[in-house]
């Protein structure tokens, strides 16, 4: 089954993993230390994030480090942009309505 990025970020643990590795690459063990779950459960989340290409593995000696794929995160941002424009338009409209109400009260 092919997963997409939105399935990957639907899970709160996977979102937390993304936040953890956003600033620096981490080993699976270091990531697992931040969660009250088994190392195997964290590995499953890492596998899903890797399959969706949100993170990538880098081998350094015997260790595997996971790091964020920023370009893939841009896909999420691009999808959200359409909603951001709608929200901003509505906030501007709300500001105009509130300004009108405020003027009418004076």
pLDDT tens profile 10-58? 999 999 999 999 999 999 999 999 999 999 999 999 999 999 999 999 9
26, 32, 92 from 45: Cα distances, Å: 14, 10, 40
Can you say how many angstroms the Cα of residue 19 is from the centroid of all Cα atoms in its chain?
7
Instruction: Please answer whether residues 18 and 72 qualify as being in contact, where contact means their C-beta atoms are separated by less than 8 angstroms.
Output: no
Going by C-alpha positions, the residue among 52, 44, 58, 49 that lies closest to residue 15 is 49
59, 64, 93 from 49: Cα distances, Å: 17, 15, 39
Query: Which pTM does this prediction carry?
Result: 0.77
Whether residue 1 is predicted with pLDDT greater than 80 in this model: the reply is no
Mean pLDDT of 65-75: 92
Element (H, E) at 59: strand 55-60
How high is the mean pLDDT of the chain? Answer: 92
Give dist(CA 58, CA 27) in Å, integer.
10
Give dist(CA 103, CA 99) in Å, integer.
6
């Amino acid at each position: 089954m092919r997963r997409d990025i939105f399935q990957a970020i639907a899970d709160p643990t996977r979102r937390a993993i993304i936040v953890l590795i956003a600033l620096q690459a981490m080993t699976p063990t270091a990531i697992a230390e931040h969660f009250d779950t088994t190392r195997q459960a964290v590995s499953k989340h890492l596998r899903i994030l890797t399959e969706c290409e949100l993170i990538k593995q880098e081998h350094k000696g015997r260790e595997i480090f996971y790091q964020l794929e920023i370009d893939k995160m841009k896909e999420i941002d691009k999808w959200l942009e359409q909603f951001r424009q709608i929200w901003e338009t509505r906030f501007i409209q709300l500001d105009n309505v509130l300004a009108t109400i405020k003027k009418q009260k004076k």
